[in-house]
Amino acid sequence: MAVVAPREKGAPRRRTPFGVFALLQLYMAAVVVAGFAPSFYLKPARVAAMDPAIHLHAGVMTLWIVFMAIQGVLPAQGRVRLHRTLGWWGAGLAALVLITGAVITVKGVHDGHDPFRLGSAEAFAIIPVRDLVTFAVFLAVGLATRKSAPDAHKRMMTLATLSVIPAGLARLAAFTPEPVIIALNHAPIAAMVAYDLWTRRRVLTSTWVGSAFLVAATPVCLAIAKTEGWLDLVRALT
């Protein structure tokens, strides 16, 4: 007898158009491309002069964004088996995201990188650390729920990608009004909430808990960024 994985409690699922989570992954890929195109993807000469560590990290992140866009589309097209098979390759790619992200964070401290003007590169390091920590948490929960709670899995993997697109959004901010950037950043969360309400008549636990964790991460990290404890920790580790 086939065993069907349990879904989060709620009203019966309504029929939906082309996969919402596929569209969200494609949306986030578009945001990243739009953000990095003017300064990276369309500037080969400038890219060639960059540090090899940046090349590696950029390549890994590009692969992740493309991979997740494909992974989002496959289930919507009925290719669930292929989606699951590729998932294990994705876990390895995610490990590279974390490793190269950590390398770039350390490099940023050494280079005095502080684009948000938080006062020092050590203080700014909290921003990429925020991205890596939230990414790792969502990834871990997403992998743990891939069979037991597929609804939570979809939402966790969507939030994992959302947690690593702020760098693209930051580059869009150079020529885009701040309210638009805020809207672009929170659009996937709003879409998941709307989708839950439409299909289940309630917001699923994985949606609101995951979204709350991601949204709360920024003010918490900014509150920590300039503390002596954080600055000393960064200096000790870098």
**Cα 80 from Cα 91, distance rounded (Å):** 17
For the segment 2-12, the average pLDDT, to the nearest whole number, is: 45
The amino acid present at 75, given as its one-letter code, is: P
Q: Which of 189, 144, 180 is nearest to 162 (CA)?
A: 189
The band of 127, judged by pLDDT with boundaries at 50, 70 and 90, is very high
Q: Which of 187, 26, 70 is nearest to 195 (CA)?
A: 187
The amino acid present at 68, given as its one-letter code, is: M
Task: Give residue 10's pLDDT.
Answer: 47
Q: DSSP 3-state assignment of 204?
A: coil
**Cα 198 from Cα 183, distance rounded (Å):** 21
The band of 198, judged by pLDDT with boundaries at 50, 70 and 90, is very high
Task: Give residue 96's pLDDT.
Answer: 97
Q: Would the CA dihedral through 62, 97, 210, 118 be positive or negative? A: negative
Task: Give residue 47's pLDDT.
Answer: 84
- Which sequence spans correspond to the domains of the chain? 20-237
CB 184 within 8 A of CB 31: yes
Task: Give residue 15's pLDDT.
Answer: 44
CB 135 within 8 A of CB 91: no
CB 8 within 8 A of CB 206: yes
b/e burial code for range 196-228 (CB count within 10 A of at least 16 → b): beebbeebbbbbbebbebbeebeeebeebbeee
Structure tokens at 81: 């088996």
- pTM comes to 0.88
Task: Give residue 9's pLDDT.
Answer: 52
CB 227 within 8 A of CB 123: no
11 pLDDT higher than 70: no
Residues near 159 by beta carbon (within 8 Å), at least 6 away in sequence: 134, 138, 188, 210, 211, 214
Radius of gyration, CA atoms only, the chain: 19
